[in-house]
Amino acid sequence: MAGKKFINAKLKGYNELQEILVEDGVFKAIAPHIDVDSDCEIEDLGGKLTLPPYVDPHIHLDYVFTARKQGATNGTGTLFEGIQRWSETKSDLTIE
């Protein structure tokens, strides 16, 4: 099995260091010990904290309440149009 195995990885929620096996850019296994073929590249992380790839999962809750309003759709998906649409849409909002 060719791929890359990271050893001595500190992961949140685990008391002992873990190994991570990645093949073709896909995480295949996380365990205290993973058996691999001799052609597998191994990288020692030296007990450093290992985090998942960066993903920006944030949402704008204000948009949840306005997205379906007439004229609120951001057709281009750009920040500038989003700001313009929000400016136009929020003008008729009330505290209620």
What is the reported pTM?
0.55
In a domain, 25, yes or no: yes
Domain containing 13 equals 4-44
pLDDT band per the 50, 70, 90 thresholds, residue 92: confident
- What pLDDT does 29 receive? 96
Helix (H, G, I), strand (E, B) or coil at 61: helix
Please give the tally of structural domains in the chain.
2
In a domain, 49, yes or no: no
Q: Are residues 38 and 70 in the same domain?
A: no
In a domain, 50, yes or no: no
40-62: pLDDT as tens digits: 999 999 999 998 777 777 776 66
Q: Is the pLDDT of residue 1 over 60?
A: no
| Contact between 82 and 66 (Cβ < 8 Å) | no
